[in-house]
């Protein structure tokens, strides 16, 4: 199974969220690499915890932006985020009952979990957020962090 490769077509047009989505791709790829390359007893607990907390902070940021821009479907999008959070917590449980059989299923789950959400749901806010003054301010905030590595990127 190949790792997730970021494509320009995944861009939601908001620099801050594209950057965060790239970090999520990296976190998921790391988890898969650890599972694939490690022995059967390796459970990437730290990385999964990192994925969960990064996801929660990212969702919160998206929700704030959608509200600030008056996005019509922000309530619906929030519900989807809440469901995705439940799913990723279930993933964590499954990982605790780790077995060979579930490894590729779990990776597929995370891969689809992220890519489907970006491509189907996040794309819907693209136009609204891109014509919003608040987005310009958010994007301006990240320009100062260009020289830093992706993991040092703060959420504020
Ligand atoms: Fe989202």
With respect to residue 43, please indicate whether it lies within any of the assigned structural domains: yes
User: 109 C-alpha to center of ligand 1: Å?
Assistant: 17
- Please, are residues 4 and 110 in contact by the beta-carbon 8 Å criterion? no
CATH number for position 54: 1.20.120.50
With respect to residue 4, please indicate whether it lies within any of the assigned structural domains: no
With respect to residue 35, please indicate whether it lies within any of the assigned structural domains: yes
User: 54 C-alpha to center of ligand 1: Å?
Assistant: 13
User: 59 C-alpha to center of ligand 1: Å?
Assistant: 6
With respect to residue 34, please indicate whether it lies within any of the assigned structural domains: yes
Count of other CB atoms within 10 angstroms of residue 83: 11
User: 149 C-alpha to center of ligand 1: Å?
Assistant: 23
Mean pLDDT within 13-40: 86
Ion ligand 1 neighbours, Cβ < 5 Å = 62, 122
- Tell me how many domains the chain contains: 1
Q: How high is the pLDDT of residue 147?
A: 40
Comparing 46 with 156, the larger pLDDT belongs to 46
With respect to residue 42, please indicate whether it lies within any of the assigned structural domains: yes
User: 118 C-alpha to center of ligand 1: Å?
Assistant: 7
With respect to residue 9, please indicate whether it lies within any of the assigned structural domains: no
User: 10 C-alpha to center of ligand 1: Å?
Assistant: 13
Span 127-143, pLDDT tens digits: 999 889 888 887 776 65
User: 93 C-alpha to center of ligand 1: Å?
Assistant: 23
* pLDDT, the chain, mean: 82
Give me the domain span that covers residue 42.
15-143
pTM: 0.83
Span 28-72, pLDDT tens digits: 898 888 877 776 666 778 888 888 889 999 999 999 999 999 999
pLDDT category at 116 given cuts 50, 70, 90 is very high
User: 139 C-alpha to center of ligand 1: Å?
Assistant: 17
């Amino acid at each position: 199974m190949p790792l997730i490769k970021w494509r320009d077509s995944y861009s939601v047009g908001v620099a801050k969220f594209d950057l965060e989505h790239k970090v999520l791709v990296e976190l998921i790829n790391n988890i898969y690499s650890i599972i694939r390359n490690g022995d059967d007893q390796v459970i990437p607990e730290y990385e999964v915890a990192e994925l969960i907390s990064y996801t929660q902070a990212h969702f919160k940021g998206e929700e704030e932006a959608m509200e600030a821009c008056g996005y019509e479907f922000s309530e619906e999008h929030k519900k989807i985020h809440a469901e995705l959070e439940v799913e990723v917590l279930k993933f964590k449980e499954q990982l605790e009952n780790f077995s060979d059989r579930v490894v590729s299923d779990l990776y597929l789950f995370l891969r689809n979990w992220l890519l489907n959400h970006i491509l189907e749901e996040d794309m819907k806010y693209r136009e609204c957020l891109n014509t919003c003054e608040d987005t310009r301010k958010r994007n301006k905030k990240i320009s100062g962090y260009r020289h830093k590595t992706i993991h040092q990127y703060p959420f504020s």
